[in-house]
Structure 1
Amino acid sequence: MKTLKITLSAFVLLFFASCDTLNQAAQVLGQTGLGNPTTSEISMGLKQALEFGTSSSADRLSATDGFFANAAIKILFPEEAQKVERTLRSVGLNKLADNVILSINRAAEAAAIEAKPIFISAVKGMTFSDASNILLSGQQDAATLYFKRVTSQQLADRFRPIIESSLQKVGATRYWADAINAYNKIPLVGKVNPDLSSFVTAKAIDGIFFEIAQEELKIRTRISARSTPLLQKVFAYADRNRV
């Protein structure tokens, strides 16, 4: 009888792994014997999820094409310099514009791995109250907003020198200077020269938070993403009790 109960529970979990109806999934999980987590398990479970999510995001974005091949976060010309890109392409300087875009994304990829220890430190410093509020929040990006609040300045401080160095290393500074100089030589255009380092730093940080938000949404809404018994227990409890 015990074996049959375990088998049925496993079947139900697999059945709902692809189900979008969280209320149904929560009810099923509640019947598997997982029960309500202790306060310690809530804290540990959320921290486990956040360490997984932030580490995988940093690893993914720091790989070659982590930014460049991701349409959602690919860094393009600064808004105030998009007229520069359009003008350069209109006069046949497509390669120069392409080099700028590729090189600034490579700089962001070089810096992304530095986010990992910052996020892990933020997770370790999270109180039970922080963890509980994030877990039971009605906001699907509550953890991401927490990270924005406590790590943004640290990320900017850590990213900027790396991005400045990388911009030099991959030739972005030279390509950028060439692009701006070529544009500024065109008759009757207004002179521009946005701060490239600040722009790429800000966009790299935006990209990191975007990816973390995707990871957070995944574990909140997909049972199949809850890869350990602790995560299953804690997030099933959240499904049943989210405000």
Structure 2
Amino acid sequence: MHSLRTLALLAALLGASQAQAQLIRFPKIGGGTSTIKLPTPKTSKTAKTSVSQDEAARGLKEALVQGISKGADQASQVDGFNLNRLIRIPFPPDAQRVATTLRSIGLGAEVDKFELALNRGAEQAAIKAKPIFLSAIKSLTFTDVWNILSGERDAATQYLKRTTSSQLTTAFQPIMQQALDQTNATKYYTGLVTRYNRIPLVTPVNPNLNEYATGKAVDGLFTLIAQEEANIRENPVARTTELLKKVFGKRS
């Protein structure tokens, strides 16, 4: 009897047809047949709820496009950087003593004016990031997709950092310089540093404003994208399409 059960189980595991799965006859010792009823196969409804490789890839790309679009749009709004504590760009750390000293001699308003102009420059440049991110999404392989879907809640953001940071920085530098000039951040900064360097006994400073602002703007975009990625993974309401619900709902 044990051998009959073993044969029945093997038949089920090897994918017997529906008719075979319901009723299989085996020869009896001493003549005749013995009938064993096997478990009913999985229904087509169950198969429909599984996520295919193509759906997983399309779902992830859709989620990334959504997250990037929201992040870039949020950053490029007026005060998108300036009033967001997570990404607001402060006075350059290498020249922080400049800000502290100038505030102590009554020039705090000038420092604030510069920091506002600096963040306005980042807001203007942020919208230019979308095409670079979208290009990276198109090049996702299935291995990338699987690693992201099964990874940490910021796995997609980390992938984008690895594949776009250098390109973003190169593309952002001329855009940021133009934005800093338009918002007068360059002018204010030059004036502040010049005043500071004229103070007796101080060590002169002159950090690269463009390099600093570009790096902080890129970091700020990744921060916002990471927030959107975590939201889609964890919050069902954030999954605005059926495909997103199907792909990320399986991993809630």
Q: Is this a same-fold pair by TM over 0.5?
A: yes
- Correspondence for 1:203 among 204, 212, 216: 216
- Correspondence for 2:138 among 124, 145, 150: 124
Task: Identify the residue that residue 195 of structure 2 maps to in structure 1.
Answer: 182
Compute the displacement of 1:114 (Å).
Answer: 0.8
Would you tell me which structure has more helix in proportion to its own residues?
A: 1
1:225 corresponds to 2:221? no
1:149 corresponds to 2:162? yes
- Correspondence for 2:58 among 41, 44, 54: 44
- Correspondence for 1:107 among 95, 101, 121: 121
Q: 1:228 to 1:34 in 2, by over 3 A?
A: farther
Q: Quick one: percent identity of the two aligned structures? A: 49
Which is worse superposed, 56-65 or 197-206?
56-65
Q: Which amino acid aligns with 1:43?
A: A
RMSD: 1.5
Task: Identify the residue that residue 229 of structure 2 maps to in structure 1.
Answer: 216
The structure with more radius of gyration: 2
Compute the displacement of 1:73 (Å).
Answer: 0.5
Structure 2: which 5+ residue stretches go unaligned? 1-44
Task: Identify the residue that residue 56 of structure 1 maps to in structure 2.
Answer: 70
Q: Check the 8 A contact 1:34/1:233 in 2, yes or no.
A: no
1:5-28 C-alpha deviation (Å, 9 max, x unpaired): xxxxxxxxxxxxxxxxxxxxxxxx
Q: 1:228 to 1:81 in 2, by over 3 A?
A: same
Q: Which amino acid aligns with 2:79?
A: D
- Correspondence for 2:249 among 218, 231, 236: 236
Runs of 4+ residues deviating >3 angstroms: 31-34
Structure 1: which 5+ residue stretches go unaligned? 1-30
Task: Identify the residue that residue 207 of structure 2 maps to in structure 1.
Answer: 194
Q: Which amino acid aligns with 1:37?
A: V
Q: How many residues align?
A: 208
